[in-house]
Structure 1
């Protein structure tokens, strides 16, 4: 029996027990995991330092190293996430709807999905985020992280299982694949007898491979080619603050802005000031022909409009109208997060109505597309598909429902 099959069997068995766990039992487990993370802090940081060192030796760019790196502050955030999720309302058992039909009482009840497979890259905090959300929603989880973060992932998983051992939940509620050979990904994708759902989280290549090769249902988390359109009525100073935040706060994340569209009537005033701010932060600007008349920038290619840089690179295009901005976004958007900066209500309304994305913003940074920022206590990924979840995937999105039907020895006519 392979490692993948062995551990999949364990999480499948654990899922049956988790489905019956009480809210108190799940919350106590999350608290125990938080305590174990704190006790394992030095071990986790040591393991992570090795991963970061290896990444830099391989020439990985710093924006991606930042996604990999753990600090005391980030571990504190992980611990806090455990406590925050424990405070969230348990979705399991919620009566979504109830009615009487044909002398039958029909109730739609929220239930766990079962055993979930998580395939992810780079970010070791996903090991924790996926675990605590899955557990609170009554699911077990089989984790398969990338080779670049393997030491960090194993150290975090060890702490998680240590916490579970001090709770009433099965320690096998969470299992991690230690062998980083890519054949294990393909094996996981064929585990439809063990897993109810596969969630890929990473680059476009990983997501595409999982979607095209899985016999297990897939919840597609998305590539983020995010846009901000600066309308001609926008406040220039406030727009610069938002663009700066959306690009430079954490450029290696999927909700960072990659392309800014600027209305022609505001370009001359906005672009020089925006370029000065971005240049001071080390951002490389790639602009259209009109953009380059106002600022010093590299010439943007067709490929730039479709690229998720995940780096300190920003494409800028001057457009003639709101309609042209919407057309550009519709053509190149990956359906993640799109924003308009404007003082015009009608334009804001037209933008939010027309743009088809998981999150559409008016006068706010795309960086807010995040489960914690939305009040979900975290997220297992950002879904850019429409079934069965969209946007930050939190607790409710990790459940399904069943119908419980009560009758009085009723037969169908």
Structure 2
């Protein structure tokens, strides 16, 4: 894989921060966009800009065809069974809220919702709100001492009874990969519904929702080289069709009168209002971009980068790495590694790195329960994309060493 040629497709990477070339290691927060995505959105806005569905004019017809074509691309991309199982949202957060709201009628007082202890707040807070509204309760699925999901504890929780299980496919902080196929099978055997947050997975690995066997799978465009403002909810049709709509209004109706409203069929029933059309077009271009690559070569490249990154950080004595080592029988960590420099504040470390053009994320990463388990208020996170080069990693490691010498002499 020619990294130099690949990087040239991402114009935002070709810039300096002060006197230093940009090293972008914040892909887990948002990925950069290739020209293919930018050009597709610009083309739509300059030639086909119109609202979708219903209109008789040519521009709307072209817009509708392009918009719905992305739904078909997504069906193939995640191996869904039906195109109606793909719902466009404005992001992962809205997708999870849509499911949580839609399940109100299925949960009862005393029901248990099991949530991954490493979950992003977007895959925790909506379930807490659902529990408050229904009388259900949220229980954390424990992590092992190595910060991996405790399968034995999870099995015991399922035996005690659970209505819903919410998992992360890949931790946005640690980069750990959950065996969601096995976990969803365990939950399904006990009659629990399952939702998998795939926001950190779709850009780094192939996703097959049929093979995973989950009821819902959610992700965002801006994590997979597409634009922000668009996300995807996959739902197994039989369950998706039972959800109460989160939003009501235009687009999602069959008939309306002042005596009542009849909602339309999927997918329209869960897509009220004007959708994020331009962002959907950009997401379609991102899928085309990803599909054009040798996915195995990308996976191998990213695995090598993660190994180089970890080995370099381990060589800095003052560094505390929170992400667990790759474990036997577990998928290699993917995309991100979390660390602290001694007892220094993570923001101070981030600022020093930025002064050398190194972009990393610092804070609690919308995972405050996980921070509590780790015994820290926050940490730094370096995260890679397919455009990350070995030189990026080496420059980052050199800057970390300088920060360590300055702050922890």
TM-score in same-fold range (> 0.5): no
Give the TM-score, by structure 1 length: 0.27
Bigger relative contact order, structure 1 or 2, given CA contacts below 8 A and separation 6+? 2
Give the TM-score, by structure 2 length: 0.27
Q: Which has the larger Rg?
A: 1
